Amino acid sequence: MIRISIKILTIFALLFICTQLNASLPLEVPMLEVVENSDHLLSITVTNIEMYDDNKQLITDGNATTGPGSANTIYLVCSIKHVYVSNREAPSGNIRIPLDKNMHYSLELSSSTKCDKNN
């Protein structure tokens, strides 16, 4: 009886862990659906990455992170190269695209990350 209870508890624990892991994954949406529901279809170049806190103060600490409980948001600063489709006033110049605040990101580059401004 005790072995059966331990097996059942183990199964429930594994199921709970699996549901928690899936909860942290971003929603997967088919690309066609994303395009059909978008206001703009653009060609862009990411020119900078910035992190701001809730007071709109720029954060330069490479160890600062985003994620649940954090007031920080990372933005991709992008230069618009071409507007293919727009059903609203088309943006021009530079735009800032916020990344999901609930995902865990930081400004720190790993030693294996290589950045080349020419590409």
Residue range of the domain that includes 62: 39-98
Provide the domain count of the chain.
Answer: 1
pLDDT in tens, 43-80: 899 999 999 999 999 998 888 889 888 899 999 999 99
Give 44-94 as a DSSP string.
EEEEEEEEE-TT--EE--TT-B-STT---EEEEEEEEEEEEEESSSPP-SE
Residue 32 lies in a domain: no
**Mean pLDDT for all residues in the chain:** 77
- Contacts with 13 (C-beta within 8 Å, 6 or more apart), sequence order: none
Residue 17 located in a structural domain: no
- Residue 93 lies inside a defined structural domain of this protein: yes
Residue 53 domain-assigned (yes or no): yes
| 67 phi-psi bin (left φ>0, alpha ψ -120 to 50, beta other) | left
H helix count then E strand count, the chain: 2, 4
Q: Does residue 103 lie in a domain region? A: no
Asked whether residue 45 is assigned to any structural domain, the reply reads yes
Q: What is the pTM of this model?
A: 0.64
